[in-house]
Amino acid sequence: MKPVTLNAWLGIALLAAAAQPALAASRTLIAKDSEIAFSVKQMGVPVSGTFKRFEASIDLDSAQPTASRAELTVDIASLDTGDDDADAVALDKPWLDKLGFPKATFKSSAVRALGPDRYEATGQLAIRGKSREITVPFETQDEKDGSTWVRGSFTIKRVDYGIGGGEWNQGDLVAPDVPVKFKLKLAPVR
């Protein structure tokens, strides 16, 4: 058997050195390709919208998922349902109250792997000044250019965050659950 040469060892060491920090590096969000969307049912009709502006700081570590972390800040005023009247209601005080609470944030506390390219993040979601622990399953998909898609969805209960009080809470006019979908594109590791 041929002994492993010094060169090969060096090569492996170099690869490891290159790969290690790369995996844990913070990834830049490609905002134009990323999307955070939600949907609220009114009289059975899903009214969907997106947030146009948000920032994310994400460390994705596929080798050691538990070392991954994510922090997102959403600019509430950037909400867009495609309908000006609906936007105005959604941003008004009983709903998201953009003046009182201009930002919504998510900060992960733990990430665990569910399977290949499938993970689950647990963390605090704060909307309208109220913070709740949520669990967000997500999937990752690496692109050829080195960028990575992070896609997932979760559902929040409006009442947990005091979204949409008063007259809007009569009967079952507006569904209590709000499904949220996100796709984030992370730039290649530099």
Partner 1 sequence: MNQTAPLSSPDVRYGFVAQALHWLTLLLLIGSFSLGWWMTELQRSPLQVQLFAYHKWIGVTIFGLVALRLLWRLCVPPPPLPAAMPLWQRRIAAATHGALYALLFAVPLSGWLMSSAKGFQTVYFKVLPIPDLIGKNRELAKLLEDVHETLTTLMLVLVALHALAALKHQFVDRDDVLLRMLPRLRRS
- Binding stretches for partner 1 (CB under 8 A): 42-48, 81-83, 85-86, 88-89, 167-168, 170, 173-174
Residue 39 Cβ, how far from partner 1 at the closest point, in Å?
A: 10
Q: Which is nearer to partner 1, 89 or 134 (CB)?
A: 89
Q: Shortest Cβ distance from residue 85 to partner 1 (Å)?
A: 4
Closest by CA position to 148, among listed 190, 119, 189 = 189
Judged by beta carbon, residue 116 or residue 171, the one nearer partner 1 is: 171
Least separation in angstroms between residue 83's CB and partner 1 is 6
The Cα–Cα gap between 134 and 121 comes to 8
Q: Residue 40 or 76: which CB sits closer to partner 1? A: 40
Residues in CB range of 19: below 8 A, 6 or more apart: 63
| Closer CB to partner 1, 30 or 91, in the complex | 91
- DSSP tag of 185: E
Q: Residue 167 in contact with residue 138, Cβ under 8 Å?
A: no
Distance CA(143)–CA(31), nearest Å, equals 16
- Measure the CA–CA gap between 125 and 3, rounded to whole angstroms: 54
- How far separated are the first and last CA of the chain, in Å rounded? 39
Which of helix, strand or coil describes residue 106? Answer: strand
CB of 23 to partner 1, least distance (A): 39
Name which of 154 and 168 has its Cβ closer to partner 1: 168
CA distance 154 to 124: 13
Q: Which is nearer to partner 1, 21 or 44 (CB)?
A: 44
CA atoms within 13 A on the CB side of 120: 8
CB of 94 to partner 1, least distance (A): 11
Q: How far is the CB of 45 from partner 1 (least distance, A)?
A: 5
